């Protein structure tokens, strides 16, 4: 399924996007959540998300954050709209002002479209989830914690923050192992990334199986406890 939220009134659009994420997580509590922007985008990973089908396959809730505004990535994302639309996973595309050609494709394939405001100049990205991951990957514990508190106060789902951290750590680890480019690889050793990734995986499964407070577990990770 494909949902699209866009418009120049970014605060309203982002609030709607966050509400959609919460709704999707409520509908599918066992689904895995991922948030993707131009820093951690992978075409093969995107294909894996929409190709996951069948009764026993893991379903995903995937947010694609402002990829339509990235000229190198837009065509890849738009060409995947038909597959996203028919996928059993849920895709939420968030952007500001897609061009007319892209809007035509959105109208053709999206299950629901939410538009906020008319075109105007781009605003600075204010997604606190990505501010958290950026600070964490720069080993800025204070910055990641401060933005984490802002996100929680803004009712951002802890699952969304966990998914963003997991994805960024995973892509950085892959780049580290394969010698690929990633702006965060110099900040961590391979062993450190393996340990953090393992902790995030264990955290997710422990919360699902035994219960607990994901919000507190994430805070401890960000503070290095």
**What CATH number does residue 170 fall under?**
1.20.272.10
> Which of 115, 142, 175 finishes a domain?
115
Which residues, in sequence order, are CB contacts of 63 under 8 Å at separation 6+? 17, 21, 33, 34, 35, 36, 92, 93, 94, 160
**Segments forming the whole domain that contains residue 208:** 128-222
72 lies in the same domain as 139: no
pLDDT class for 117, splitting at 50, 70, 90?
confident
Question: What rounded mean pLDDT belongs to the chain?
Answer: 86
**Domains of the chain: total:** 2
Tens of pLDDT, residue by residue over 46-98, are: 998 888 654 445 689 999 999 998 888 999 999 999 999 999 899 999 998 88
Whether the predicted pLDDT of 125 surpasses 50: no
Quick check: is 193 in a domain?
Answer: yes
pLDDT class for 121, splitting at 50, 70, 90?
very low
What confidence score (pLDDT) does residue 207 get?
80
């Amino acid at each position: 399924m494909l949902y699209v939220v866009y418009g120049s009134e970014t605060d309203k659009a982002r609030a709607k996007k966050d509400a959609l994420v919460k709704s999707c997580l409520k509908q599918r509590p066992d689904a895995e959540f991922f948030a993707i922007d131009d820093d951690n985008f992978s075409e093969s990973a995107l294909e894996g998300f929409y190709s996951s089908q069948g009764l026993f396959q893991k379903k995903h809730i995937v947010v694609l954050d402002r990829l339509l505004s990235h000229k190198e990535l837009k065509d890849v994302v738009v060409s995947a709209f038909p597959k996203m639309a028919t996928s059993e996973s849920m895709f939420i595309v968030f952007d500001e002002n897609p061009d007319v050609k892209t809007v035509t494709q959105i109208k053709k394939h999206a299950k629901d479209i939410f538009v906020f405001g008319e075109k105007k100049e781009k605003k600075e990205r204010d997604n606190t989830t990505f501010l958290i991951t950026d600070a964490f990957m720069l080993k800025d514990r204070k910055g990641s914690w401060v933005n984490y508190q802002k996100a929680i106060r803004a009712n951002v789902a802890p699952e969304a923050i966990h998914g963003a951290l997991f994805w960024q750590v995973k892509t950085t680890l892959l780049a580290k192992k394969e010698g690929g480019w990633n702006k965060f690889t110099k900040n961590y050793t391979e062993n450190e990334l393996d340990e953090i990734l393992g902790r995030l995986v264990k955290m997710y499964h422990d919360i699902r199986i035994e219960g607990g407070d994901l919000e507190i577990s994430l805070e401890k990770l960000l503070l290095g406890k």
